[in-house]
Structure 1
Amino acid sequence: MASAHRVRFAPSPTGYLHIGGARTALFNYLYARRFGGTFILRIEDTDLERSTEASLKAILDGLKWLDIDWDEGPDKGGPFPPYFQTQRLDTYRQHIDQLIAAGKAYRCYCTQEELKERRAQAEKEGRTYKYEGTCRERKDAPEGRHHVIRFKMPSQEGSVSFDDLVLGKITKEYSDLDDWVMMRGDGIPLYNYGCVLDDHLMEITLVSRGQEHVNSTFPQLMLYQAFGWQPPQFAHLPLILGPDREKLSKRKHKEADVMLHKANGILPEALLNFVIRLGWSHGNDEVISRQQMVEWFDFKDVGSTSGVWNPDKLLWLNQHYLKTLPPADIARRLAPFLADKGHALPADDARLEHFVIAFRERAKTLEEMATMAVPYLLQGVTLDEKAAAKHLTADSLKLVRQVRDEVAAMPEWTVAGLDSVIKTVSEKAGVGMGKVAQPIRVAITGNTVSPGIGETLLLMGKDEALRRLDAALARG
């Protein structure tokens, strides 16, 4: 028996996973998880010219990276297969035949050229074109002409309404709707027809999607009425606007691509936290964990106002998660970014975690963190001559020599142990720690800026640190 709450995400595989699609998937997923429902992934692949395997993979990869897991659909199966529209064509044809037999749909033989002429004439006369119903009562099948299937709107006056969970009650008069095309002559269903059949047959109880689909809901409701089916609830989500306050689009905004954020070093936890706040809120909470999302989410708390993309907010959230998630977890995710820069480290290399701890207060992305770590993975160093002239003097190099001999003898390097050596050498010399730490820093990094000196030595690793200290000593 199907779950009481059944929701779906139904993307078209014609490109990457869009941020708006990811938010729709997230909202449906959270609703299902909160209320013990089922989350279905259905692939609407009837755009045969643009649908590709690469796009399908990109969408599935994006959902998996965000950890938005579906209960039924591709790779999972379920009680209402298949979950690809192109594998359901027989079902669409059978139901079309039912509607035609009942006088609720008909074959239309009007050509594209004829329709184009009529539309142009309507524009010339200053009116909105609406299909005239030319083929409504046609019984013959003109030879050599292709046909489409149109829905037959009721001829009497009336209206169709629905109570949207986000927008409230919305109504449209029958007279504002025309005999819309349900299926092409080749048996491929158009959106308004295919999604209604699938939603009904898969027992979907709530359909949530972007506000751009509001007007599509009315012909869909007429189809439910024609079949005598109970329609699901609807929730139309607010738009997401780019930083320029125009609708976030694949064509204009690089931010629209979910996987671009992965490549840029954004954590999925941060992206989900950012995306959920584009149209939904829980009081003034900004940082929201996955557990809290499941506990709090409901469509009744979704607003109708468009959400605006704020890159600074995303980076702030990302840094929050870099600082608060376990360092070992972040280290695992940092490794591929270092590998991309030519520094592949084994997964168990302790330096990965050291890099996380050292740089998470300053790095806003994994990409930035990797860039900060690279100098510590190189062999040799290029000294800033101004810094070297100031800090690598004959007197300071004597202190560097003492530190070098002490740390070389340490069986295990730790930040506390290395800091202790610097402190002891400075106390014996009667100088402040900076007088010892800064020459060491310049010798190790080539300049005067780095994390704490013990941390810097640890990040460099014993062998390379000693090589660099020896090179600095050789100057004197």
Structure 2
Amino acid sequence: MLRFAPSSTRDMNIADLRVAIFNYIVSKQLKEDLIIRIEDFETQKNIEGKDKEILEILNLFSIEYKSLFYQSANLKYHQKMALQLITQKKAFSCFCSDEKLDELKEIAKKDGKEFSYDGFCENLSDETVLNINAPFTVRIKKPENNIKFTDLLKGDFDYTPFDVDSFIILKQDKTPRYNYACAIDDMLMDISVVICEESHIFDTLKQIHVRELLGYNKEIKYVHLPIILNAQTGKEISDVDDLSSVKYLIEEGFLPSAIANYLVLIGNEAPNEIFSLEEAIEWFNIENISKIPAKFDIDELKLINKKHVEALDDMRLSKILGFADIDIGKLGKVFLQETSTIKEIKEKISSIFTIKTKCKSFEEEFIKLKECMQKAPFFNDFEELKKYIAEQTNLNGKNLSEPLRYLLTGVDNGPDISDIYPLIKNYLGEIIK
């Protein structure tokens, strides 16, 4: 069983999507189920509707999953397991206030040391704990031995008890902290492979510690993916960057198939530059992912996107553009000479249907041309139309070609009008208003 566990507190970013895609591919290769587990314990930070948005994005990318879970639904199990750890003296009640902990962190910072809980509450007697009438958290005891695990991509890791520390597993309101909840949920859901970002390496060792104290010995294989850098800035792509948001990329007119193609391609060796996720399942090997950070280049994504648009069926492209006409699909591909996204193509087509009242530098010619076009009979051939207009208006050269281009396209330059006209001739009544 594999899992993708997005948070409902923020937009899904491209690093999240890459994790989802790799989990999907590997689940198909292993013939194991993929589940979606929404991390919704941060109730004050949860954004209403964000879970549905995440599921919609997964659907857009054709990422199939077996079941959907909400982490909060397992609260009773989180609390039950915590009680078991307390009873077995593997966890303890901690009455230290946030102010006290902040003070200890500040002292450690001044001494140039990493903060580690000082264990003040760990050895309180049961009687003392019963007599303290104050809010408390539950902390797990730090391990007695090093925590070791192997990452399929990065190799062996070995961490000391100090690295793990006596971390909090239940907050004062008795809801679980992230690592504890993940550890319990992965046990309950029989997870066999965890694919996540490398920022979760320290989370992994804490989760292993929880499961070991609970006597859970099933081996879980791990893959921690390198970070994604912005190729233009060289910095890690963060949630404040527009580029990081999957929703933003979709709104900007990038096809899901192209985004998925690119996220699998970066930091990887592929037999072809252009492929579908289903094709990637045949050759993808997660152990071959580069160990260095991947670089996300928006210009490269545009090139990939253009090729995916080119490969679309004309009618399919037409429907994406808001029509149901093969000619409009063909027109969209004509505009790929100067565009690369659906949004840009839509803008070009929108300009065609925009009402035009004047043409700069050709005001008189434009009026004469427009009046002629409104009265002209239908011409199947563009050259015949031009000949007719020239005869009726005595316009020629730039005085004809420039205002005619603007009247038919709404812009002063672009693909050859002779390529555009056959695809818009049936819409002239709407275009020349």
With normalisation by structure 1, the TM-score equals 0.79
Matched, 1:24 2:11: no
Measure, in 1, the Cα distance between the counterparts of 2:40 and 2:87.
28
Q: Is the alpha carbon distance of 1:258 and 1:150 closer, same or farther for their aligned partners in structure 2, counting shifts above 3 Å?
A: same
1:151 to 140, 143, 163: 140
Match of 1:445 in 2: 406
Displacement of 1:112: 1.8
Work out the CA distance in 2 between the residues paired with 1:60 and 1:90. 25
What are the superposed Cα offsets for residues 88-107 of structure 1, whole Å, 9 maximum, x if unpaired?
11111111111112221111
Which residue type is aligned with residue 120 of structure 1?
A: E
Q: Could you tell me which runs of 5 or more consecutive residues in structure 2 were left unpaired when the two chains were aligned.
A: none
Of 7, 15, 20, 1:12 maps to 7
Tell me the secondary structure at the aligned position of residue 247 of structure 1.
coil
Give me the CA root mean square deviation: 3.1
Code of the aligned partner of 1:325: L
Ranges of 4+ aligned residues in structure 1 off by more than 4 Å: 386-389, 419-423, 435-438, 465-468
* 1:306-341 CA-partner distances (Å, limit 9, x unpaired): 112211101111111111211211111111xxxxxx
Which amino acid letter does the alignment assign opposite residue 351 of structure 2? P
C-alpha contact 1:444 1:457 (8 A) present in aligned 2: no
Q: In terms of Rg, which structure is larger? A: 1
What is the Cα deviation at residue 271 of structure 1?
Answer: 0.9
| Preserved CA contact (<8 Å) 1:323 1:361 | no
1:66-115 alpha-carbon deviations (Å, 9 max, x no partner):
22222211xxxxxxxxx111121111111111111222111112222222
| Equivalent residue in structure 1 for 2:295, among 301, 308, 311 | 308
Q: Deviations over 1:226-271 (max 9, x none)?
A: 12212411100000112312221112x1111101111111111111
Deviations 1:427-454 (A, max 9, x none): xx9xxxxx79993674353477454444
CA drift of 1:159 comes to: 1.6
The answer to whether the 8 Å contact 2:353/2:430 transfers is: no
Q: Partner of 1:132 in structure 2?
A: 118
Output the amino acid matched with 1:66. Answer: F
Q: Is it true that 1:367 corresponds to 2:336 in the alignment?
A: no
Partner secondary structure for residue 235 of structure 1: strand
For residues 117 and 392 of structure 1, the distance between their equivalents in structure 2, rounded to whole angstroms, comes to: 78
Of 121-130 and 436-445, more deviation after overlay is shown by: 436-445
Partner of 1:408: 377
Residues 223-302 of structure 1: matches in 2 within 5 Å?
223-229=210-216, 230-242=218-230, 243-251=232-240, 253-282=241-270, 285-302=272-289
Instruction: Measure the CA separation in 2 of the matches of 1:259 and 1:175.
Output: 40
Letter in 2 for 1:25: A
Contact 1:159 1:172 in 2 (8 A): yes
Q: Which amino acid aligns with 2:420?
A: T
Distance 1:255 1:364 in 2: 16
Cα deviation 1:140-196 (Å, max 9, x = unaligned): 2243311111111244xx322111011101111224332111111222111111001
Equivalent of 1:72 in 59, 67, 72 = 67
- Deviates further, 195-204 or 365-374: 365-374
Letter in 2 for 1:27: F
Query: Is the 1:165–1:300 Cα contact (8 Å) retained in structure 2?
Result: yes
Q: SS of 2:42's equivalent?
A: coil
Report deviation, 1:459. 4.0
Normalised TM-score (structure 2): 0.86
Cα deviation 1:174-223 (Å, max 9, x = unaligned) = 24332111111222111111001101110110011110111122221112
CA contact (8 A) 1:280 1:303 kept: yes
Q: Contact 1:318 / 1:365 at 8 angstroms: preserved in 2?
A: yes
1:464 Cα offset (Å):
2.9
- Where do residues 55-70 of structure 1 align in structure 2 (5 Å cutoff)? 55-70=50-65
Q: Distance in 2 between matches of 1:152 and 1:24?
A: 31
Aligned length, in residue pairs: 418
Tell me: CA distance 1:437–1:454, structure 2 relative to 1, closer, same or farther (3 Å): farther
1:92 maps to which residue? Answer: 78
